[in-house]
Every structure is written in C-alpha cells, then in structure tokens.
Amino acid sequence: MADENENTTPEEQALADEWAAALSESGDAGQDDIDAMLAASAASQPAAPRAPMEEFGSMPKVNNPVNLEGPNLDVILDIPVSISMEVGNVDITIRNLLQLNQGSVIELDRLAGEPLDVLVNGTLIAHGEVVVVNEKFGIRLTDVISPSERIKKLR
C-alpha cells in the first residue's frame, strides 16, 4: 500500500481522499456494496457494442510520397474529359428551330475575329483563335483562365 502512495500524484491522492471521506459518511457501505450498485446500474443500461482492439491499431502505411506542392494528381490524369470550342451562341424559339433548313443562317452573339471559348466538360477554361494545322482546324490559346477563377465559377 505504501508503494501505491509513492506513485500517485497530489491530485490523485486528493481525489482518493474525497472518495474515502464520502464512503465513510455513507455508513457501512463497503466495497462489496459499491460493486453491487455498479453491477445493477450496468445491468439496467444496455451495454454499447465494443469493437475489437485490433481495429484501432496503427494507421496503414501509404506508399504515396508526401508532396508539399499539392495533392497527388496521378490518380486523375487518365480520366477522359470532353473539350469543345464555342464560336458563339444564340437563343431561338422552337418555332424558328423547326423552320431551319439547308442554307439557313443563324446570327451568333459574337463578332467576326473575336476569340472562341474553350470549354472542358462545359466549363470555360480559356479563350483562343482558330488556326489551320496540317489541313485541320486547331485553336491557339490566347488567354487561359486561372485555376482560382475556374473554381469560383464552379460554385
């Protein structure tokens, strides 16, 4: 018993003294009575299911190195996206849409020579101009929207 008192802190000793005083005031309640009351209160309340201690072991080791520049983007680099160039747009009624035929002209909201919008999955990421590369159309990017501006547009 003397060894136990040497290992306790003053706060623990004060708490133990308070419990001893409370038990002595209660009369003849001994340790057996306290254990019986605890068992009775535990029986009246359903016990929460306990998980095995193995589940709370150390965290699994991750093979990905920590990169201070940002998240590892390797996991998304092979996801296909749809890129499109928008020359302009216009809203028309269904009546006018049904009247369109070969040779009809639709007036767009852009002037000739204005840059085109470059969209990735419908999100504007840049502006550019049309060029011809090996007899195919291409686009030269003239203005790329910053990532922070793209994120703001998503919200």
CATH number at residue 119: 2.30.330.10
Residue 116 located in a structural domain: yes
Q: Is residue 80 part of a domain?
A: yes
Q: Residue 130 belongs to what domain range?
A: 73-154
> Is residue 43 in some structural domain?
no
The residue among 16 and 135 whose pLDDT is bigger is 135
Domain-located, residue 143? yes
| Average pLDDT along the chain | 76
Under DSSP, is residue 126 helix (H, G, I), strand (E, B) or coil?
A: strand
Distance from C-alpha of 73 to C-alpha of 79, rounded to nearest angstrom:
11
CA atoms of 141 and 115, how far apart (whole Å): 9
| Local confidence band at 17 (pLDDT 50, 70, 90 cut-offs) | confident
Per-residue model confidence as pLDDT tens digits over 49-101: 665 555 555 555 555 554 556 667 778 888 898 999 988 889 999 999 999 99
Count of the separate structural domains present in the chain:
1
Interatomic CA distance for residues 107 and 8, integer angstroms: 88
pLDDT at residue 151, rounded to an integer: 75
Structure letter (DSSP) for residue 120: E
- The yes-or-no verdict on residue 123 having pLDDT over 70 is yes
